Amino acid sequence: MFYLTRMLGRPVVDAAGETIGAISDVAIATREVFPRVTSLAFLGPEKTPFMLSWRKFVEAIDDDQIILNVTRDALRFSYLQPDEILLARDLLNQQIVDTQGMKVVRVNDLKLSESRHQLRLLGAEVGIRGILRGLHPALERTAERIMKLFGGTLAEDIIAWNYMDLLDRDLSHVQLSVTHKRLHELHPADIADVLEQLSPAQRAKVFEHLDNSQAADTISELEDAFQADVIDDLGSQRASDILEIMDPDDAADIIGDLPYDKAEALLRLMGVEESSAVRGLLGYREKTAGGIMTPEVTTVTEEMTVQQVIDHLRGEAAENESIYYIYVTDETDHLEGVISLRDLVVSDPETLIADIVTKEVITAYVEDDQEDVAETMSKYDLLAMPVVDETNKLLGIVTVDDALDVLEEESAEDLELATGQRARTGITGIWRWVSRNGWLVVWGALFLLAAMLPVPGVALLVLFATIILRIAEDVASHALSRVIETEDEDERTPLWRRFASDAVSGTALGVLVGLVAGAVTWLVQEPSGVLDEALRIELAILVGLVYALAVLAVSLAGTLIARVAEGVASRGRRVSGTAITVVLMLIGMLVFGGLALGAWRLLAAQGLTGM
């Protein structure tokens, strides 16, 4: 086994035993799965670069040197062939795409092996082991030994040549084996995954190798955040060509995210038909049925025969995104019914459409929430759902792929709402703990702040407010689940009814907490014996009242906040669960503090605070 990093710099010795230079690189034949080393590059005296054929001149290779089979003067030097890849120049330390693992990695070393006088490239080492070896071989050995002590192994992370695509060197003009997988041969969804790991400049290079339809598919698969950037970086002509190929709904999404000037320029460059389809879609609000539908619908009339419809499908409708359902409309595009591809195939060619059409069509209104549309589709197992306006005119269809995206997006949003955590960022232990025990964190922070203030009572107050904060958190999570629910149902109970029911439950909880607090106060006061019985009861009642009112206030504030949050959520904006919690806690704290201050004043007025 040989490693390139260890070979570089080793002496090249001729048949007479004389050192004529130091290894600087080796070239491989690109066509094989385990490519043969074809040439040896070395630096002669005064750093002059030389290259010679491996097959003709290399006699033997060992860990210390390369021995040639002739003396120096019998050597014939060669030149680098355009289809040869130099391992040190083109691969070592470079970024490559691992087309099997769909990742962008950096080559730390190259592993070669010798068999029957031929040195072959086994693959690129991309793991930590290569880095350690590159730093110092002793490091690698030490790490290996340490791993062994703990019963593990320091695994090699090797990528074979036929799963490599290079980013800086273009492999298009190099002969590769048929099994060699290059980036642009992957599935568009996989290409998209890799592209997201690259810098804009590298992405642009990859796009040079994709044809327009591949590019269109790939861009559709990219995360939303990248789509507009990628289109923006492509030249206008190419960008508009690609947008033309894309499904109009996808194209509209991207164009909607571009700056106005750029969007207009692209729309003008696009074909008339495509650009008017996109323009039409841009008019619909985001997150509604109109926002996710495609205007490409296959429509027929009742008077047509099955055969005519099939001909229509083969002809002009062949390009449409979805042809599993064919919609039946009148002359003015009003939806009358639907037939499925299955109905067509099993019917006699001469049958009239009017005889097989289903009149009960499940439709979506153009302003319907996208989540409702997706849920209806999932409920009835539809591959597509027609979108109509108030006059039942057919505007477009929502296809199943877009519905799936919506469901995924919405469940991520709900999750985020419920946990206060963005689904994509790593949910780490600490953060999860912090967001679940928000009240404790706020309490801790308040207590620390209070402890620093020169006024002595404040810290004590925060200490006593613990239970209020805890309750505020419960109210917040209750409010939050309400927001999530109403987002689904879209039916709201009137505010006063909620207010009333929350007031009842708030009062109940308040009375409970107040009783306990009052009782504790009463009991604590007893041993000191400073207060007479009447005052003792008065103090206990006051404390109980402060707690009870604070709890009630927090519950009612929760009702209001939930309503506000619903309003925000229904306008399609994000609601932060953490924010709701924090606001409620602060409200609770303020009310409690205010009430406590009032009670203190009252007691002071009676001359009781001097104790």
Partner 1 sequence: MTEPKTRTRKRTGLLALLAVIGPGIIAASAGNDSGGISTYSVAGAKYGYTMLWMMLAMTPSFAIVQEMAGRMGAVTGKGFSALIRERFGVRPTFFAMLMLLASNAATTIAEFAGIAAAMQLFGVSKYISVPIAAVVVWLLVVRGSYRNVEKVLLALSSVFIAYVIAAFLAKPDLGTVATAFVVPRIVPTQAFIALAIGLTGTTIAPWMQFLVQSNIVDKGTTVKEWALARWDVIVGAIAANVIACFIIITTATVLHPAGIEVTGAGEAARALAPLAGHYAEALFAIGLLSASVLAAAVLPLTASYAICEAFGWESGLDRSWSEAPLFNGLYTFVILTGAAVILLPGLSLIGIMLVSQVVNGMLLPFLLIFMMIIINDRKIMGRHVNGRVNNLFAWTTIVVVITLTVLLLGMTLFGIG
C-beta closer to partner 1: residue 197 or 307? 197
Q: Which helix (H) or strand (E) holds 9?
A: none
C-beta closer to partner 1: residue 365 or 431? 431
3-state SS, residue 610 = coil
In the DSSP assignment, the letter for residue 115 is: E
Token code pair at residue 266: 């692209």
C-beta closer to partner 1: residue 434 or 541? 434
Query: What is the phi/psi pair of residue 520, to 5°?
Result: -60, -45
Q: How far is the CB of 235 from partner 1 (least distance, A)?
A: 4
Could you identify the residue written with the tokens 């303020």?
590
Q: How far is the CB of 298 from partner 1 (least distance, A)?
A: 35
Q: How far is Cα 372 from Cα 77, in angstroms, rounded to an integer?
A: 73
Q: How far is the CB of 434 from partner 1 (least distance, A)?
A: 8
Q: How far is the CB of 168 from partner 1 (least distance, A)?
A: 8
Q: Which of 34, 18, 21, 17 is nearest to 8 (CA)?
A: 21
C-beta closer to partner 1: residue 108 or 363? 108
H helices within 83-223, ranges in order?
128-135, 137-149, 188-195, 200-209, 212-221
Q: How far is the CB of 269 from partner 1 (least distance, A)?
A: 9
278 in Cβ contact with 248 (< 8 Å): yes
C-beta closer to partner 1: residue 202 or 308? 202
Token code pair at residue 287: 């997150």
C-beta closer to partner 1: residue 236 or 340? 236
Return the amino acid letter for 399.
T
List all residues 6 or more positions away from 435 whose beta carbon is below 8 Å from its beta carbon. Answer: 419, 420, 421, 578
Q: How far is the CB of 465 from partner 1 (least distance, A)?
A: 19
C-beta closer to partner 1: residue 63 or 233? 233
Q: Which of 34, 319, 21 is nearest to 179 (CA)?
A: 34
144 in Cβ contact with 123 (< 8 Å): no
Token code pair at residue 313: 């499908």
C-beta closer to partner 1: residue 5 or 275? 5
Q: How far is the CB of 237 from partner 1 (least distance, A)?
A: 5
3-state SS, residue 323 = coil
Q: How far is the CB of 231 from partner 1 (least distance, A)?
A: 11
C-beta closer to partner 1: residue 197 or 301? 197
In this structure, the strands spanning 2-3 and 58-61 are unpaired
C-beta closer to partner 1: residue 108 or 376? 108
Q: How far is the CB of 412 from partner 1 (least distance, A)?
A: 12
C-beta closer to partner 1: residue 263 or 561? 263
Q: How far is the CB of 424 from partner 1 (least distance, A)?
A: 5
Give how far the C-alpha of residue 192 lies from the chain's centroid of Cα atoms, to the nearest Å: 12
C-beta closer to partner 1: residue 203 or 482? 203
Q: Which of 278, 249, 273, 250 is nearest to 263 (CA)?
A: 278
3-state SS, residue 376 = helix
Q: How far is the CB of 131 from partner 1 (least distance, A)?
A: 6
Q: How far is Cα 555 from Cα 349, in angstroms, rounded to an integer?
A: 68
Q: How far is the CB of 563 from partner 1 (least distance, A)?
A: 26
Q: How far is the CB of 445 from partner 1 (least distance, A)?
A: 7
Across 138-291, the runs of DSSP E, i.e. the strands, are 158-159, 164-166
Q: How far is Cα 262 from Cα 283, in angstroms, rounded to an integer?
A: 17
C-beta closer to partner 1: residue 159 or 539? 159
Q: How far is Cα 194 from Cα 188, in angstroms, rounded to an integer?
A: 10
Q: How far is Cα 314 from Cα 317, in angstroms, rounded to an integer?
A: 7
Q: How far is Cα 584 from Cα 212, in angstroms, rounded to an integer?
A: 53
H helices within 62-163, ranges in order?
128-135, 137-149
Return the amino acid letter for 52.
L
Q: How far is the CB of 209 from partner 1 (least distance, A)?
A: 15
C-beta closer to partner 1: residue 183 or 292? 183
Residues at the interface with partner 1 (CB under 8 A): 5, 92-95, 103-108, 126, 130-131, 134-135, 197, 199-202, 204, 229, 233, 235-238, 259, 261-262, 265, 422, 424-428, 431, 445, 448-449, 452
Q: How many residues does the chain have?
A: 611
Beta-carbon count within 10 A of 22 CB: 16
